[in-house]
Amino acid sequence: MIARLRGRPAGQAPDGLVLDVNGVGYLVAATPSVLRRADDAAEITVETYLHVREDALQLYGFADVDERELFTHLLTVNGVGPKVALAVVSGSSSAELRRAIVQGDHARFQAIPGIGKKTAERIVLELKEKIGEGVVPVEPSSSPGRAPHVVARDALVELGYSIAEAEQALAAVDPDLPAEERIRLALRTVAA
């Protein structure tokens, strides 16, 4: 198993990042955080996962061990392959995704291309116990049992925004604010 590579970014290909490690170019399908770090860097370290199939060996690259660990957990879910798992960990931080799993937020995963309702439900159901330990609890919201982020996102969806648009608008808002304030600021962001 190749768990980590340190080398010089030698270019980007449609399939990912080419990392030159002592004269050998490794093609790594990487998360956006790795690709950002590779821009103008003389050398980077990438946490990796080697996916072995009958017809191919594919390296996947992550900015940190948490991203890789979440990726490997996602691979255990029936119906989730490495490309879908990479799309999941590429969309949000590991902490946010873990929180969404613990809170049962299926809609967050349905917003990711390649994931339908049943797969999103399986992700939450199968990973809730595996990764629930160590996840920082979220403050109570005005709606019992629901996190302020979920309340705000659902309100934006009710107003006609897609889940992806709502998530993008809420990403620009302070996560420590109550749901009502998040909605107000997110609407300003979308209108701007």
CATH number of 65-131: 1.10.150.20
Cβ within 8 Å of residue 76, ≥6 positions away: 126, 127, 130
Q: So what's the pLDDT on residue 165? A: 80
DSSP 26: E
- Please report the pLDDT score of residue 61 as a whole number: 96
**Residue ranges per domain, the chain?**
4-62, 65-131, 148-191
- In angstroms, what CA-CA distances link 184 with 80, 140, 154? 35, 19, 13
Contacts of 12 (CB under 8 A, 6+ apart): 18, 35, 38
Report pLDDT for 184.
84
How many other CB atoms are there within 10 angstroms of residue 55's CB atom?
A: 4
**Distance in angstroms (rounded) separating the CA atoms of residues 17 and 25:** 10
pLDDT at 132: 64
Residue 120 burial (CB count, 10 A): 20
Fold of 4-62: OB fold (Dihydrolipoamide Acetyltransferase, E2P) (2.40.50)
One-letter amino acid of 11: G
Indicate the pTM of the whole model: 0.72
Say what the pLDDT of residue 74 is.
95
At 137 the pLDDT is: 47
DSSP 135: P
CB atoms within 10 A of CB 30: 28
In CATH, the architecture of 148-191 is Orthogonal Bundle (1.10)
Q: Digits of tens for pLDDT over the chain (192 positions)?
A: 899 999 999 998 888 999 999 999 999 999 998 999 999 899 999 999 999 999 999 999 999 999 999 999 999 999 899 999 999 998 888 888 888 898 888 888 988 888 899 999 999 999 988 886 555 444 444 444 567 788 888 888 788 887 778 877 887 788 778 888 888 888 887 776
Are the folds of 65-131 and 148-191 the same?
no
